[in-house]
Amino acid sequence: MIGWVLGGLALFLILVGLAAALVGPRLPLGGDRVAVIAIEGVITDGREVIEQLHRYRDLPSVRAVVLRINSPGGAVAPSQEIFQEVQKFRRQTGKPVVASLGSVAASGGYYIAAAADRIVANPGSITGSIGVILQIPNVSGLLQKVGIKTTVIKAGENKDLGSITRDLTEGERRILQEVMDDVHGQFIEAVAQGRRMDRARVEPLADGRIFSGRQALGLGLVDELGDLPDAIERAGGLVGIPGRPKVIQERRRRSWLWDLLTEALGPVFPAGGTIPPAAVYYLWR
């Protein structure tokens, strides 16, 4: 009998923990506010940021948005999706968006920032890295040492392009380089469009190098130097909110039990720390 009670109690605690983890954010109502959306870590999925933009689009009390970016970039598609949603948000609502660059807002992080009305960077923020990278490991030597051979049966000459069990052929290398050049060109076009710069002015800056916030200011990649409170005040000023605006910033509610579960399952289901090697990234390494 005691065992059944303890088992039921354990199940109840697990359900409570999961419910606390999944509960939606509570958004304060009334008064003009600036919403802060955090973009942190390696970008692998844009859904959370996009969902917040959708909520703030329909919330009259949110007059402006600040994107607080602390990210070295990440996967190409999510970076592009967030960029497009930020532009759509600005166009459909008329609400200004200010990007605030933290310690690092490089590559895909800067790609997203370029969609904002204004970019505010700390003097020492690391930004830029306008480039694209693809890394394919080659484990053929290791497999040979341990006596493992692979057999590939394919239909389509390039179906196993990027295999980690052999070297790339020259033809495969050309194919991948063409993809890289095209995706790189998309990055340059996004920066030129978002920053209202000529493509010819962006191209010399798009060799993958990083810049400090102060260097980026001189190059026209950011608009001003300042910290997060400065960016919030700037966003408020764009819509006529006097003084220091009230702020909305969503925080996912998580219980100690959820933290314990995610920590235990971290090695099985990594969350943003490790990324698959054979993919195309707007990422500063």
What residues are annotated to the active site? Answer: 107, 159
**What's the order of all strands across the beta sheet hosting 73-75?**
73-75, 280-283, 133-134
For residue 31, the one-letter residue type is: G
CB count within 10 Å of CB 233 equals 19
Per the listing, tokens 């998309």 go with 186
